[in-house]
Structure 1
Amino acid sequence: MKISGARTETFSAIRRRALADAAGVSAAPRGTVTVDKAGFLGLEPADLTPKVQAALQTLMSEVEDLRTEVSRLKYRLNEAETLADMDVLAPVLNRRAFLREVRRVSAFAQRYGSPASLVFFDLDNFKAVNDRFGHAAGDSALKAVAERLLANVRESDIVGRMGGDEFAVLLTQADRATAEMKGESLAGAIRGVPVQFGEWSAPLHVSFGVREIEAGAEPETSLAEAGAAMLVKKRARLAAG
C-alpha cells in the first residue's frame, strides 16, 4: 500500500504494530478514526486516504475487541486467584492463603510496632459427630463454625481453616491478653447456638490457644505454637473432668 506524503508501509505492518500496543490506545467509538489514533500509527492526517480510512476502521475495531478480551481475561484471572485462596468447604481462607496473610501482618507489626496475635481453634469430639451422624453433618458443623467466627471478628481480622476441624483467627492490633479474651468470646459464640442438620441438633465445643506473633517469626512457627497452646489447654480441661 502506498500512502501519500512519501510514507510507504504495508497495512499488515501497521496492524501488527497497533495490536502489539493495543493497551495504549485511548478508547473511542467503534469505527471512528481520530487524529490521535492516526498519530499513534505514525501517520499524518493528510495521509489518510479513503482506502486507508477504511483499513484503519477495521484495524481499530480489532483493537477494541482485543482490549475487551484482555479485560475479560483479567477478570477471570482475578476470580481464579480468589477461589484459589478459599477453603473448599467453609467461606474462609485456606491454610496457604492464611499463612500468607500472617506473614504480611507480621511484617507490618514488626515495622510499626503494632501487636498481632493468633487464636487457634480445634473442635472437641468432632470425630464422634462424623461417626454418629455422617460426614454431611460434620461438614454442616464446620461451616457453622466458620460463619460464627466471621460474624464475630472485625473486618481487619482474618479467619482461616487449617484443615480438618482446625481453624485460626489472625487478630490485628491485639496483644496476648486481648487475644485470650477474644478467644473466650469466640468460643462462647460457637457454643451458644446448637448446630442443626436434619433432625440432628447438638451444641459444639471448641478448645483454643493463643500466640502473640513475635518479630521475625515464621508464620508456620507461630501457628504451630498457637496450636501447641491449644493442646495444653485441652488436656488440662479434660484432666480436670
Structure 2
Amino acid sequence: MPALGIPEAELTPKVRAATQALLQEMDGLRSELERSRAHVARLEKLADEDALVPVANRRAFVRELSRMVSFARRYGTRLSVLYFDIDNMKHVNDTFGHAAGDAAIAHVASILIDSVRGSDIVGRLGGDEFGVILANATKKTAHAKAEQLVRTVAARPVGAGGRSFAVRVTYGAHSLEAGDDAPAMIEKADRAMYTRKGRDQAPLS
C-alpha cells in the first residue's frame, strides 16, 4: 500500500525517507499509547482490589453496589447484599498466629469467589468481614445462598503453617427496599449479621 496514500512513483528519496521516519514514529507513539493504557488499567485494578485477597475493596464494592442499586430501580429487578464475618478471629490469631488469621481470610475469600455467579461481586469490607452483591436475587434466594456459603466454609478446614483448623462465618442479608442506597443496604446487612451472631455463635472448641 502506498505510504500515506502517496503513489510510490511520486516519492523522491528524501520524501520517502521522511515518510518512513514519520510512519516509524507513529508506530512508536501507538505502542507507547498501548503501554500507557495497560499501565492505567493495572493502576485502576490495584486501586479497586483489596491488598490481601483478590476481591473488591470497600470503596470499589460500594461503588459497584451503587451502580447496581440504580440499575435495579430503573428496571425493577431484585438486588440483595450478604454480609459475612469470620467468627472468633481473635481466637484464631491468638492460637495459631496472625499468619494463620490471614490464611483464614484468604480461605473464606476463595470460597466466596468460587461459589458465586459471574454477575455477583465479592468484596472485603473490613478486617475479617466480606460482602457479596447478589444481582437479581430475592430475599429468599439471598438467605439460601448465604446458608450454603456458611456450610461450605465450615466444611473446609484452613491449612496454615502445617496445621489445619476450622473456621465459621456468620452472615446477615438485606434485599433492596424503598429508600435504600448502597451504604444503607450494607449497614442493614451488617446489623442483621450482628443480630444473628449474638443469637447463634458458639465458642470454637
TM-score (norm 1): 0.78
Partner of 1:130: 93
The gaps in structure 2 that reach 5 residues or longer are none
**C-alpha distance in structure 1 between counterparts of 2:179 and 2:38, whole Å:** 35
Alignment correspondent of 1:139: 102
Shift of residue 46 of structure 1? 8.4
C-alpha contact 1:106 1:216 (8 A) present in aligned 2: no
Stretches of structure 1 lacking an aligned partner (at least 5 in a row): 1-27, 39-43
2:117 partner SS? coil
Report if the CA contact (8 A) 1:118-1:169 is conserved.
Answer: yes
| Residue in structure 1 matching 2:138, options 175, 187, 192 | 175
User: Partner amino acid for 1:167?
Assistant: F
> Deviation digits for residues 135-179 of structure 1, max 9, x if unmatched?
110000000000111111111111111010000111011111111
State the percentage of identical aligned residues: 45
Alignment of 1:40-189 (within 5 A): 48-189=11-152
- CA distance in structure 2 between the aligned counterparts of 1:211 and 1:155, rounded to whole angstroms: 20
SS at match of 1:117: strand
- Which amino acid is the alignment partner of residue 209 of structure 1? G
Residue 212 of structure 1, CA deviation = 0.5
SS at match of 2:125: strand
1:235 counterpart residue number? 198
User: What are the residue-to-residue correspondences of 1:2-17 with 2, within 5 Å?
Assistant: none
Q: Does 1:195 align with 2:171?
A: no
Q: What do residues 106-148 of structure 1 show as CA deviations (whole Å, max 9, x unaligned)?
A: 1111111110100100011001111221111000000000011
Which structure has more relative contact order (CA 8 Å, sep 6+)? It is 2
Query: What number of residue pairs does the alignment pair up?
Result: 202
> Does the C-alpha gap of structure 1 residues 238 and 143 become closer, same or farther in structure 2, counting only changes over 3 Å?
closer
Work out the CA distance in 2 between the residues paired with 1:214 and 1:53.
68
Greater Rg, structure 1 or structure 2? 1
Q: Determine the C-alpha separation between the residues in 1 that align with 2:138 and 2:69.
A: 13
The CA RMSD over aligned residues, in Å, is: 2.0
